[in-house]
Chains A and B, each alone.
Chain A
Amino acid sequence: MIDASRIITEALVQSGADVFVGYPITPSNLFYTYSKERFPEFLAGPDEISVLQWMCGYSAAGKIPVTATAFPGLALMTETLNMAYMMELPMVLIITQRLGPSTGSATTGAQGDLKFLDGIISGGFPLPIFSPSNFNDAWTLSNEALKTAVKFRTPVIILTSKELVMTQKSFDMSSLEPLEKVDRTPKEFKFPFQPYKAGLDMVPTFYPLGNDEYQVRFNSSTHDNEGLIRKGTPESLANTWRLREKLEKRIDEYSFFELDAENGAEDLIVTWGVSADASRDSVNSIRGKGKKVSLLIVKTMLPISQKIYDIIDSYKTITFAEENMTGMFKEMIFGKRTTSKIKTATKFGTMLTPSEIEEKVN
């Protein structure tokens, strides 16, 4: 028997993560325990602000750091997460959702942190959010998350939920293919080296602090290509704007989803994370009764790819299946206003069940 915390931790180490910096919090504690057992380097921070600051230091020094927390820790990390984003430091944050608000119920699952993450970077900048829907995703998506962090020089989030990472399941481990270690060789660049000068791919070449070849400057404030504070110059504003562009324009390089489309179906179930397995079951049940239905499992939650919009637009009715009050992903696509075309199968405080989803679709 195995749980997704173990799979994600192993996948990240195999993909090249160097250090885990943690502060314990339920339901992310298994990540802490497993990381202590597995990571080449493990550090226990005294609080979540320290944790993420240390990670930024490691990242700026050329290492790939990982942490795991839940909403209360994420809230403390928010300012530093913005710093990491602005400095363009690769790292992975695992956020295990639990029932809020506030400390809420530590051992009850939820899918209630997506909207917080949507606006977490001041100014509305996109932060890549990956949400595994089962054990195989936990493996491959962790690898993709880490690759995205390095390729785009950005912090990324792996968004999970209590039931996904703490439930033990029988699992065929031979279905996990060996993972490729991420390549950290610095990309070619046009001389002279400037730490924030980007080429056509919009991502500046990374050299770590303390290297002997090039002077490196990282900066959390609005900065020019050299990494020095510049308020409102075309260069510094372009540099900040680029943070959005690099992720939005190249979205298809890291946008993952699973579409189980049935020919002739007019109904689509859209779901993510822990509600995906319940949706898989309800799709089987609906089809078993001779009704046509398609299923879209979104795995890169943010930013949202045009492909997701296009799929959704091609159906007559859409049912969003999510374990939160109002359907957070639904609100990100359609806003708070609901029309007859859009339905929500939501649940608060317990898992959304296959029959509850089926009921909404019908």
Chain B
Amino acid sequence: MEAAKKILTNVKMPFCPGCGHGICVRSTSKALENLGYGPNDVVLVSDIGCSGLVDPLFATHTIHGLHGRAPALGIGVSLGLDNPNKKVVVIQGDGGATIGLQHILEASRRNIDMTLIVINNLLYGMTGGQMSGLSTNEFKAYKHSDDDADPYDVVNLAHQSGAAFSVRVNDISNFTDTLKEAINTPGFSLVELSSLCTSHGMKKVADMKGFIVAEERLVNNRPIGVSKKRTKNSLLSSVKVLEKQFESTIEDSTGIVIAGSAGGGVQSAAKILAQAGILSGLYTTMKGEYPITVGTGFSVAEVILSKKPIHFTGLEKPSAVIAVTEEGWNKVKNRVAHESKVLVDRKICADCSVDVKDFLKVGGKMGAALSAVSYWVKETGVFPVEALFKVVESSKYAVSLQKAIQSAEELREVVYSYIPENKKRTN
């Protein structure tokens, strides 16, 4: 049998004499070698800190990222590789686990297939021995630190969030075996290893007693998190293609502002108008404006209908401003320009000097906007009202939309009736 390739390089450990990080690194490599992993089978993801100085020690693939973010980077690597034969191992310190705690919870929640080793020396080693979110109260008292908030139990947090296996080991003689167990666990495993910072903490392992958290081991039986892959259709194939079939009288371009309230069909009325414009051989644009809370408040839409291609989509001087509710009107009344035709519902201002119609009455709450748009189309004759009917023909809501378009007739003297395409007699 070919001798298994070593996981570690011959590079000298970069840590201070007696630093516990070296034991963690050796135990990790031993665990991987014992399990039969070769260097190219392993991706080591390292964090920032003394515990993040490990890349040159490993002959594996390595990726050295940001402080606290290694588990998040590991999630991407693991999902991106999507290969059960490759092992993603993440190493970070207690400081990294503090600043990036969200990523540990996320890896646990998703049960991402990787092993996170949290090397806990109870402090930020690299920046001079400050306290971390995992520093125990006892240790903080010993270091005369003012911060006496209780530490995170990252092992339990991972467990509560769904990690397949999470464990704290304080006894260095158990490091390798526990790491083997974790690495062999499908899904997310977290191993918190106790480490010694001889420069800013204790000098000997024995002195750590009384300052560290008791060991614990927790298991969840859950399926591994995967990212599903699907073949999907072009986004262009679902766009409705509209061919010219009506004539328009528009010579240049005209812009309409339509205003109402959320749930009143303003956006859909505008879209129907714009699509009917396309059916009439026009270039059109449509944009909507509404509060972030789309279910309440005003709803405003702008439509431009033009004989020539439209570049600028803003509307400086609308040729019509239509409003069917008061909050809509309040939003757009300052848009009225000298040349604007104004059409508002009677409820908004019965005695206004503008054109007042009973859109709400004939179209209902949901149909008033479309009723008003249809009325405008008929009044101006920009294109035949049949173009509007054509647009809604195949809609799920065809019946109620047709009714709303039809309702505009009640506001006019001349009554006409719409005959659907397939019922029309050809002569």
Contacts and interface: CB of A to CB of B under 8 A. Distances in A.
Interface string B253-292: 0000000000000000001001101100011111111101
A53 B314 contact: no
A50 B235 contact: no
Interface stretch (A2-10, A122-130, A241-249, A308-316): A2-10
B377 interface: no
Contact of A209 (B56, B77, B282): B77
Given A173-B241, A210-B86, A229 B64 contact: yes
Interface in A8-52: 9-10, 14, 19, 21, 26, 34, 37-41, 43, 46-47, 49-50
A118 interface: no
A287 B135 CA distance: 72
Contact of B312 (A41, A209, A216, A278): A278
Query: Which of A40, A107, A217, A227 has the most chain B CB atoms closer than 10 A to its own CB?
Result: A217
B61 A169 contact: no
A353 B311 contact: no
Contacts of B286: 1, 167-169
B40 A1 contact: no
Contacts of B311: 134, 277-278, 280-281
Contact of B79 (A54, A353, A354): A54
B232 interface: yes
Contacts of B78: 57
A277 B53 CA distance: 52
A218 B62 contact: yes
A170 interface: yes
B81 A61 contact: yes
Interface stretch (A79-87, A144-152, A331-339): A79-87
A326 interface: no
A26 B292 CA distance: 9
Interface in A194-223: 208-213, 215-221
Contact of A50 (B103, B229, B288, B292): B103
A129 B326 CA distance: 44
A221 B289 CA distance: 45
Nearest to B69: A53
B12 interface: no
A220 B75 CA distance: 17
B271 A168 contact: yes
B66 interface: yes
Interface residues of A, number: 72
B63 A218 contact: yes
Nearest to B291: A107
Interface size, B (range):
35 or more
A221 B66 CA distance: 9
A173 B102 contact: no
A4 to B, nearest CB: 11
Contacts of B72: 49-50, 53-54, 57
A73 interface: no
A354 B253 CA distance: 15
Nearest to A106: B292
B62 A217 contact: yes
Given A60-B63, A215-B39, A170 B235 contact: no
Contacts, number: 206
Given A49-B72, A220-B66, A281-B311, A167 B239 contact: no
Contacts of B61: 209-211, 215-217
A62 interface: yes
Contacts of A9: 235
Interface string A94-106: 0000000000001
A1 B275 contact: yes
Interface string B209-237: 00000000000000000011111111110
Interface in B69-116: 69, 72-81, 83, 86, 102-103, 106
B316 interface: yes
B285 A167 contact: yes
A166 interface: yes
A55 interface: yes
A219 B64 contact: yes
A80 B66 contact: yes
Contacts of B227: 19, 41, 43
A42 to B, nearest CB: 8
A163 interface: yes
26 contacts: A1-B274, A38-B232, A41-B227, A41-B228, A54-B73, A54-B79, A57-B77, A60-B63, A79-B66, A83-B66, A106-B292, A107-B289, A134-B311, A167-B285, A167-B313, A168-B271, A169-B286, A209-B43, A215-B39, A218-B62, A219-B55, A227-B55, A229-B55, A278-B311, A280-B311, A355-B316
Given A53-B66, A167-B285, 13 more contacts: A1-B286, A34-B235, A40-B232, A41-B228, A43-B227, A60-B73, A60-B76, A163-B287, A173-B236, A210-B83, A218-B63, A227-B55, A281-B311
Interface of A: 1-2, 6, 9-10, 14, 19, 21, 26, 34, 37-41, 43, 46-47, 49-50, 53-63, 65, 79-80, 83, 87, 106-107, 134, 163, 166-170, 173, 176, 208-213, 215-221, 227-229, 277-278, 280-281, 350-351, 353-355
The 9 closest A-B pairs by CB, nearest first: A57-B76, A61-B80, A53-B72, A54-B76, A58-B80, A277-B311, A57-B77, A351-B314, A218-B63
